[in-house]
Structure 1
Amino acid sequence: MITVLHNNSFCNLTELLILDISNNHISTVHKAAFAGLNQLSVLNLSYNMITQLDSDVFTSLKSLTVLNLQNNLLKSFHIKSPFKLIEIGLAGNPWNCSSDLLDLQIWLKDPSVTMANEDNATCTFPKIMEKLSIKTAVIQPDDCKIEKASLENTVTSTSAIKVKSSALLTTQMPNNITENNRTRADLPPLGKSWTFLAGVLGFVLSTTLLIFTAIKCPTWYHYLISYSHRRLEENDSEMFEEEFSADMSSSPTVSGTDNEEPIVILEKIHAFVPGEDGFIEDKYIDSYVTEES
């Protein structure tokens, strides 16, 4: 009932020659599981449930000549380092004859390597190569590029589908969200939100600057508050009447040589005005004095 081969599981068996752990439930083999088996020549791992295995696991087995991996769940087996064997058993596994199996196939064609039960070591995938021997099946290096390209296309299409799904979910979101029997209006678009925010920020900064200036520089503020505009009154006509009345009361009387009534000569004396002679010509008085004369 062994399921996992941990690192250094057999490190004390330095003189062991044959190790048979077939017919268990081994699914995982750690990289240093066989460390210390310096004299091991035969290793039997058949009839287990191993799904992935690399040649690095067996690098510490310097004396290994026979390896039995039959009837497991292996789809590929990578040869990463020098791997010296005389016999290997690979039958009964669901091999995938693609680029992942190319290095194994090249190694199997080495004349010094013998594959036990070769007729049953056949491809399971792809379907066009089913039942073909993994040693003779035609695997082209170009298949690797094709598979990688198809894998990339699959990943790209999957990403595109996810993006489209996200966009579809975004467009299908309701315009209004009802919470606690209340409907909230739609949020403004991102661009309008930034414009609105910039306007509010500018208004707040301007108001703050004005308040700060009013506090620090009150002179102009008081000047604006105390300033009041008043239209000047035009009282020239009233002043003229008052002056004229005063002149009438103080003007001298003149007696003629005849027995006629005295003639009153009115003169208007004005205060000195720069640029004038100090007199105002009155045509009515001149005509009256002439007729009496």
Structure 2
Amino acid sequence: MKFSDIANTYTINVLLKVDYKDVACEESGKNLFSIPLNLFQNVTKLSLKNNKITLEDRDKEILGRYINLTELHLNENNITVLNNNSFYNLKNLTILDISNNCINTVHKAAFAGLNQLSVLNLSYNMIAQLDSDTFSSLESLTVLDLQYNFLKYFHIQSSFKPIKIVLAGNPWICSCDLLDLQIWLTASNVTLENESNTTCTFSNTVEKISIKMAAIQTADCKIEKTSLENTVTSTPAANLRSKLPLVGKSWTFLAGVLGFVLGTTLLIFTAVKCPAWYHYVISYRHHRLEENDTEIFEQEFSADMSPSPSGSGTSNEEPIVIFEKVHACGDEEDGFIEDKYIDIYINEKR
């Protein structure tokens, strides 16, 4: 082998060692409100402890750029919700610490994509409920720390098999809801760390009992489950029976509704028709001729019948009677007004 070949091989090996070298970045206690952008793209260990990061959508987008991360520490921040796909691009991540936050909601697919994750620390948060499929995608998970949350029960998949789990400090309730977890802890080879402090209490007592030793009767839980299923099955029929008597008793309510509808319809009809009636009334405004008005009416009528001074050449023509329409606010009429008082007056003149 030539020296140049040896040199090239050495150079390649050195470059490979540099590429796989851990690149740590310490950004703890800097009062950061979001994940910084100006970090090394090849960073492998990132500590953002003791800041004010909330892990919103923008943080998720920035975090997804650091695809070489193997360790991420977000403990002691202001995270309240872990949304779906919060760490999706971090496929090389093996350690995730998000303890000592205010997390109260963990969505079902919050840890999707973390196929290499080995250690997950969710301790000292405010988690009260977890979906049974939350950790099912974490095939490489060996340590799960859920201590000091608000968990009272935890339905867990039998296929989920970490090596160690920490559950102490939660207000576990010794009930049928805890039976799945108890069976899983007994049947699997998982190590329950701090077992002596992992206790639950029955509803009728304050005595704390080891979560693995609590006497939760399987038979009682089966009876309870069967009765619950029967209740759910009979619910439609029960609802139907409960509604039938109400039909006869609610006639007053139905009558009230019907009266309201009829009254509303009448009001609408009146509001539409009133303007037409109003115009009809004011368009027919007349009064009876008084005795002392007959001479005035005769003079005005004679004056209208007399020929115009400017029309002396046409005296043989019949007089033109002009009727003036007084009220024009109503509908168009034919121009003639019938009045019995005028007819009586004309007959008397004849």
- What's the TM-score once normalised by structure 1's chain length? 0.51
Tell me how far 1:152 sits from its aligned partner.
Answer: 8.0
Look at both structures and tell me which one has the larger radius of gyration over its CA atoms. 1
1:40 corresponds to which letter in structure 2? L
Aligned equivalent of 1:138: 215
Q: Give the aligned residue type for 1:35.
A: A
Aligned match of 1:212: none
Long gaps (5+) in structure 1: 180-293
Change over 3 Å in CA distance of 1:152–1:129 after alignment to 2: farther
* Correspondence for 1:70: 147
The Cα of 1:139 is off from its aligned counterpart by 1.3
Q: Which amino acid is 1:89 matched to?
A: V
Which residue of structure 2 lines up, in the alignment, with residue 36 of structure 1?
Answer: 113
Higher relative contact order (CA 8 A, sep 6+): 1
Corresponding residue for 1:47?
Answer: 124
Shift of 1:126: 2.3
| Alignment partners' CA distance in 2, 1:127 and 1:88 | 28
Contact 1:123–1:129 under 8 Å retained in 2: no
Describe how 1:190-269 pairs up with structure 2 within 5 A: none
Q: Is the 8 A contact 2:136 2:157 kept in 1?
A: no
Checking the alignment, whether the CA contact within 8 Å between 1:96 and 1:124 is kept in structure 2 is yes
User: Residue type matched to 2:221 in 1?
Assistant: C
Secondary structure of 1:132 counterpart: strand
The alpha carbon displacement at 1:146 in A equals: 4.4
Worse-matched range after superposition: 45-54 or 63-72: 45-54
Which of 168, 181, 189 is the aligned partner of 1:104? 181
1:141-166 CA deviation, whole Å, 9 max, x = no partner? 222144447768999xx99xx99x99
Q: Is the 8 A contact 1:91 1:122 kept in 2?
A: yes
Deviation, structure 1 residue 30: 1.1
Which residue does the alignment assign to 2:335? none
Q: In the alignment, is the contact (CA less than 8 A) between 2:158 and 2:184 conserved in 1?
A: no
Equivalent position to 1:4, from 74, 81, 93 = 81
CA drift of 1:43 comes to 0.5
Q: 1:7 Cα shift?
A: 0.9
2:162 to 60, 70, 85: 85
Offset at residue 167 of structure 1 (A): 11
1:136 to partner: Cα distance: 0.9
Distance 2:139 2:117 in 1: 8
Of residues 133, 142, 147, the one that matches 1:56 is 133
**Distance in 1 (alpha carbons) for counterparts of 2:182 and 2:158:** 15
Separation in structure 2 between the aligned mates of residue 140 and residue 127 of structure 1, nearest angstrom = 15
The AA in structure 1 aligned to 2:162 is L
Q: Percent identity, please.
A: 68
Distance between the aligned counterparts of 1:145 and 1:74, measured in 2? 23
Amino acid at match of 1:61: L
Q: How many residues align?
A: 181
Rounded to whole Å, the distance in 1 between the matches of 2:166 and 2:229 is 34
CA distance in 2, matches of 1:123, 1:154: 28
Distance in 1 separating the partners of 2:129 and 2:96: 20
TM-score (norm 2): 0.43
Q: Does 1:13 find its partner at 2:103?
A: no
Unpaired runs of at least 5, structure 2? 1-77, 260-350
On the 8 A contact 2:161/2:188 being kept in 1, the answer is no
Indicate if the aligned counterparts of 1:4 and 1:29 stay in contact, CA closer than 8 A: yes
Residues of 1 paired with 2:246 and 2:85: CA distance? 53
Amino acid at match of 1:47: Y
Match of 2:100 among 23, 28, 47: 23
In 2 relative to 1, CA 35–170 (structure 1 residues): closer, same or farther, beyond 3 Å?
Answer: closer
Q: Distance in 1 between matches of 2:227 and 2:175?
A: 13
CA contact (8 A) 1:2 1:26 kept: yes
Change in CA separation of 1:82 and 1:169 when aligned onto 2, cut-off 3 Å: closer
Q: What is the CA distance between 1:20 and its match in structure 2?
A: 0.8
Question: Cα 1:114–1:172, aligned 2, differ >3 Å: closer, same or farther?
Answer: same
- How much has 1:9 moved relative to structure 2? 0.4
| CA offset digits 1:73-119 (Å, max 9, x no partner) | 11111122401111101111111222221121111114621111111
Task: For 1:112-151, list aligned pairs within 5 A.
Answer: 112-128=189-205, 130-148=207-225
Question: Which 10-residue stretch deviates more, 13-22 or 118-127?
Answer: 118-127
Measured after TM superposition, the shift of residue 10 of structure 1 is: 0.3
1:64 and 1:172 map into 2 onto residues whose CA distance is 62
Contact 1:56–1:81 under 8 Å retained in 2: no
Q: CA deviation at 1:58?
A: 0.9
User: What residue identity is the alignment partner of 1:12?
Assistant: N
